Structure 1
Amino acid sequence: MILLVLIASVLIAGVTVYQYKEQSKDYHEVRLERKEDQIKQAIIYTLQRTTYPVTTANLGLIFKDEIYRIADIENVNFNIYDLEGQLVKSSRPKFNNDSISKCLEYHILDRLKNSPDKRYVEDNVAAGDKYQASYIYITDNRFKPIGILNIPYFQDNSFNDMELKEFLMRLGGVYLIMFMIAISLAYFISKYITRSLQTISDKLNQTRLAKTNEKIFIEDTSEEISKLVESYNGMIDELEMSAAKLARSEREQAWREMAKQVAHEIKNPLTPMRLSVQSFQRKFDPADPKAGTKIEEFSKTLIQQIDTLSSIASAFSNFAEMPAQQNETLNVVKIVKLALEIFNEPYIHFMSEEEQIIVKMDRTQLIRVITNLVKNAIQAIPEVSSPRILVSVSTEGELAKISVADNGIGIDDAFRDKIFEPKFTTKSSGMGLGLGMVKTIVENYQGRIDVTSQSGKGSVFTVRLPKVKSN
């Protein structure tokens, strides 16, 4: 709106100036023609009354005194030249008889002669003022040219210039008022429009799939804004329905996957239990002197499988709901040694250059972290000829660092980003919950767990926990 007002004001000012100039030009042309006609009529009247023969040679005698009377009556000075361009008579008493005034230039005579209406007007400048010089033929009674009439006409534009200036000032005042009104209207209209748009923008920025989103209610809006609000509210309804369907679908899928996983893991120990019982029934002889030893071995086998089932149930229970955190002041070196005591594998080694590294953590959960990482390492080296697992504890700045390294099969690059996801596993057995649970425990204590691995050469799991600052 402001730009339109500015463009309109400039265009109208330009057109006004152009119109005034054209009007002034037309006015002076008409006025000059009128002066020419008046003087020409007076000259014809004089030629009709004169007693001298009407010839070029007698023009000076005919207009000797008459030229002053005509100039005084018409209030215009003029000059009379012969057909060769020589000055014959001038109405100016103190005429400066210089060479230019006494003789017309050749181009003036040529253009006057070749003009269709036998009239030529030339624009000149004298003392910084513009003036026009009109040239027309003086004819006798038989319309034969006998001389040339020259009328200098000075253009006085002071009145028109003053009128133009006043008009432009008035026009400028009007457009200044319009400009101020345009600014005010633009401000209030933009505020009215952007108020609604800002509300919509804020709501869009707050829209989330995982939460309940509020609808927009705006009163007294334009039709376009109202349609936009209706579209947004409709989108919110569809979004909530989609979110509900998605959540329900994800829950159902999760339960289906969990049920499949639980069923699969429970079947794994049941098969060897069934085979053990069938073998015991078929081969057991009460009279055998080694019957007691066989019963003991059979019992151990069943107990191991029962423990496996128990660990499966515990793993799912622990993953679903972690125990409440108990912030205890623990010596990591001591707890890691304690956790390794349950393992009998000779290839598990422990190393620590420090006797004491203190952290605040739940003892049971720290043991669970170490146990799961070592179990994963054991499961990664079943086919290695010289298996080795190294568990090390050290200090890294303000962190306690626990590393579990093995020389097992390693982890492919394609699986490295997924190993901490629940239910993900690359093993033929196992629930895929151990590393997910370990990551949850470590992060709950503001720590982090990383893994570096090379397929076929082994893996290193590193846990970093914040140390307790010593006084």
Structure 2
Amino acid sequence: MRFTKSLRFRIFLSMLLIVIGASILIAAVTIYQYREEAEDYHRERLLRKETAIRENINYALKTTTYPVDTQNIPLIFKDKIYEIKNIHNLELYLYDLEGNLLKSSKATFYKDTTDTTLPDYVIDALENSQTKHFVEQFTEDGQEYQSSYSYITDSYFKPLAILNLPYIEDDGFLNKELKENLTRLGYAYIFMLLIAIAISYFLSKYITRSLNAISQKITETRLNKRNKRILINDTTQEISTLVNAYNRMIDELESSAAQLAANEREAAWREMAKQVAHEIKNPLTPMRLTVQSFQRKFNPNDPDVEKKLEEYSNTLIQQIDTMSSIASAFSTYAQMPAQQDETLNVVKITKLALDIFNEDYIYFFSEEDNLIAKFDRTQLIRVITNLVKNSIHAIEQRAPDHPRIEVRVYPEGANAVITVQDNGIGVVEANKTKVFEPKFTTKTSGMGLGLGMVKKIVETYEGSIYFNSEEGKGTTFKVAFPRKL
């Protein structure tokens, strides 16, 4: 189906469709016009016959020797009705005012199929009509009929009887004219179609010839080489405009290529600076919290002072090592610290990561004491601290009466699972699809790289992260990654 996308084919096809569409439209209009004319013809013909027949009937009423009333109608038109029929070549029936047949122009030796009583709707239509005239159209045995009903009145315009004139719509002549006209139109449009095929072929070829040359030049355009200008003579104004625009672009390409490269390098440096600043800020925060906690809780007389001092020291050393690895990565244009596959206890590392936080509304739960997995120690701590810090921020925005953050560690099938649940402000519906996007943040400070980096770290270890949130009630983040069985 590749040819259907060609401009040349589309131009060719469009011209053919225009010709074919025009021929179909004109044929439809012609058929509609003929039908309208046929209806007008039959309606006017019936009216003319009815007018002439009524004149004969009125003359018979004026010259009769019988009293002019409904009972004498069969006597008055005993023979006259056949004479009127022969003059106008049309059957006619006379009914009394209640719809009972009085006299018919049909010969008595024919089987009489005439209704001896008029339907009630015909009498009602006559009585309710302002003109005291009613025409019914119907089809019988494939033949279309019109049946006219009107009152016969005496000289004082008193209704005497109902005149019924059945009229057959013979469209044979009109249909023949229509068929001949459509045939002539068909020949004319077949000729026009052949001409349109030839014209559209050469026109589409002429238009697309220049476009093909331009397309080839554009395809060959490269940033790392000197590109040639397009030189095309004897073409349309629109194609010339396109060629001139391309040539101007080629002239500007040389100067803009160097500027583009410089901008890309600058953008890369800026992006790296933002990422490094965020990564350095991550260990600085827990280091500050650790020192503050040490200052507040340190007691030289505590029997476990050496153990606590060792834990504080280990926490600071870990964060310092993280900053050192970030600096090394930055100096060599590398990514953030490469992953180190360590076999570690997820429960222990999670508790260690939570020790740096002073908030008394952070609670830790674990179904098991040991949950072994392969993960980089530093990056797992980074995942946990980022999620907890986001929960703290969400709680500070809402300020509930009983703030609570629950961190849980438990096995789920072949995975180790860490959940961080809070009763903070929650995530609005419009932001749910943006939570893990880099640089997205609802905070007044920060780069918005935290959750995006958490997602990248977790996915590096073939894990997954997702969240459930209800605005105004809280959020639950769930991290799952393979564990060692």
Q: Give the TM-score normalised by structure 2.
A: 0.49
Paired residue secondary structure (1:89)? strand
Counterparts of 1:135-146 in structure 2 under 5 Å? Answer: 135-146=149-160
Q: For the residues of structure 1 that align with 2:165 and 2:73, how far apart are their CA atoms? A: 17
* 1:86 equivalent in alignment to 2:100: yes
Q: Give 2:252's aligned amino acid.
A: E
Q: Give 1:143's aligned amino acid.
A: F
Paired residue secondary structure (1:34)? helix
Match for 1:77 among 50, 75, 91?
91
Partner of 1:163: 177
What are the superposed Cα offsets for residues 235-263 of structure 1, whole Å, 9 maximum, x if unpaired? 333345667x89xx9xxxxxxxxxxxxxx
What are the superposed Cα offsets for residues 303-348 of structure 1, whole Å, 9 maximum, x if unpaired? xxxxxxxxxxxxxxxxxxxxxxxxxxxxxxxxxxxxxxxxxxxxxx
Paired residue secondary structure (1:93)? coil
* Shift in alpha-carbon separation, 1:95–1:129, aligned structure 2, 3 A: farther
Partner of 1:3: 17
* 1:191 equivalent in alignment to 2:198: no
Q: For the residues of structure 2 that align with 1:237 and 1:100, how far apart are their CA atoms? A: 94
Partner of 1:218: 232
Q: Give 1:223's aligned amino acid.
A: Q
Match for 1:150 among 159, 164, 186?
164
Partner of 2:34: 20
Q: For the residues of structure 2 that align with 1:242 and 1:145, how far apart are their CA atoms? A: 99
Return the offset for 1:99.
Answer: 7.9
* Shift in alpha-carbon separation, 1:35–1:242, aligned structure 2, 3 A: closer
Partner of 2:317: none
Aligned-pair identity (%)? 51
* 1:236 equivalent in alignment to 2:259: no
What are the superposed Cα offsets for residues 27-79 of structure 1, whole Å, 9 maximum, x if unpaired? 11100010000000001111111111111111111111111111111121211
Return the offset for 1:417.
Answer: 7.5
What are the superposed Cα offsets for residues 438-462 of structure 1, whole Å, 9 maximum, x if unpaired? xxxxxxxxxxxxxxxxxxxxxxxxx
Paired residue secondary structure (1:197)? helix
Match for 2:66 among 49, 52, 59?
52
Q: For the residues of structure 1 that align with 2:147 and 2:221, how far apart are their CA atoms? A: 83
Match for 2:75 among 43, 46, 61?
61
Match for 2:193 among 179, 189, 210?
179
Return the offset for 1:175.
Answer: 2.5
Give the count of matched residue pairs: 257
Return the offset for 1:213.
Answer: 2.7
Partner of 1:385: none
What are the superposed Cα offsets for residues 127-154 of structure 1, whole Å, 9 maximum, x if unpaired? 3211111111111111111111111100
Paired residue secondary structure (1:170)? helix
Q: For the residues of structure 2 that align with 1:211 and 1:107, how far apart are their CA atoms? A: 91
* 1:104 equivalent in alignment to 2:112: no
* Shift in alpha-carbon separation, 1:190–1:99, aligned structure 2, 3 A: closer
Partner of 1:115: 129
Q: Give 2:82's aligned amino acid.
A: Y
Q: For the residues of structure 1 that align with 2:149 and 2:239, how far apart are their CA atoms? A: 73
Residue 94 of structure 2 contacts residue 103 of structure 2 at CA under 8 Å; is this kept in 1? Answer: yes
Return the offset for 1:210.
Answer: 3.8
Q: For the residues of structure 2 that align with 1:413 and 1:95, how far apart are their CA atoms? A: 118
* Shift in alpha-carbon separation, 1:110–1:96, aligned structure 2, 3 A: farther
**Bigger-Rg structure (1/2):** 1
Q: Give the TM-score normalised by structure 1.
A: 0.50
Gaps of at least 5 residues in structure 2 are 1-14, 263-324, 335-485
Q: For the residues of structure 2 that align with 1:109 and 1:89, how far apart are their CA atoms? A: 17
Q: For the residues of structure 2 that align with 1:97 and 1:103, how far apart are their CA atoms? A: 17
What are the superposed Cα offsets for residues 176-231 of structure 1, whole Å, 9 maximum, x if unpaired? 33333333332222211211111111112222344343221111111111122122
Q: For the residues of structure 1 that align with 2:171 and 2:113, how far apart are their CA atoms? A: 30
What are the superposed Cα offsets for residues 357-411 of structure 1, whole Å, 9 maximum, x if unpaired? xxxxxxxxxxxxxxxxxxxxxxxxxxxxxxxxxxxxxxxxxxxxxxxxxxxx9x9
Q: For the residues of structure 2 that align with 1:76 and 1:30, how far apart are their CA atoms? A: 15
Partner of 2:148: 134
Return the offset for 1:117.
Answer: 0.8
Q: Give 2:98's aligned amino acid.
A: E
Q: For the residues of structure 1 that align with 2:190 and 2:329, how far apart are their CA atoms? A: 73
Q: For the residues of structure 1 that align with 2:210 and 2:113, how far apart are their CA atoms? A: 83
Paired residue secondary structure (1:146)? strand
Return the offset for 1:413.
Answer: 5.0
Paired residue secondary structure (1:152)? strand
Paired residue secondary structure (1:101)? coil
Q: For the residues of structure 1 that align with 2:333 and 2:242, how far apart are their CA atoms? A: 42
Residue 106 of structure 2 contacts residue 112 of structure 2 at CA under 8 Å; is this kept in 1? Answer: no
Paired residue secondary structure (1:102)? coil
Query: For the aligned residues, what is the CA RMSD?
Result: 2.9
Q: Give 2:147's aligned amino acid.
A: A
* Shift in alpha-carbon separation, 1:180–1:416, aligned structure 2, 3 A: farther
